[in-house]
Amino acid sequence: MSGWTGQRRGYSSARILREAGYKGEMRAVGDLVIDMLGHLRRCGFDAFAPDKALNPTDAQNAFGRWDNVYQATVVDGRQAIWAKRHPA
C-alpha cells in the first residue's frame, strides 16, 4: 500500500482477505501517517513499514484513539456506532 493515489484499495483488499479467513501477515508499506494506523489495523493490516519513521508512542496511541467507529471492525469485532444506536 503505497502513495496517496488509489490507496483506498488496500483497505478494501485487506478487509476482504480477513473476512475470507486469511490469517497471514498483511503489511502496509509506504507513505503512512499516524492518522491511518488505526484504520489500517481495523481493516486487517497487522504490520506496518512506513517510508519515514513514526514516533512509537504516537503510533501505539493511534490504535486506541477512537472508542466508537462508523464501520464494523474485522479484527476486533467492534460494532459500528449506528448499529449500537439501532440494534436489530
CA 26 to chain centre: 11
Cα separation, 61 vs 7, in Å, equals 23
User: Would you kindly state where each structural domain of the chain is located, as residue ranges?
Assistant: 8-85
Q: How far is CA 86 from CA 30, 70, 80, in A?
A: 38, 13, 10
- The mean per-residue pLDDT over the stretch 32-58 comes to 91
pLDDT of residue 42: 86
Predicted TM-score (pTM) of the model is 0.75
Cell of 75: 479484527
pLDDT of residue 1: 47
List strand residue ranges (DSSP E) for the chain, in order: 27-30, 47-50
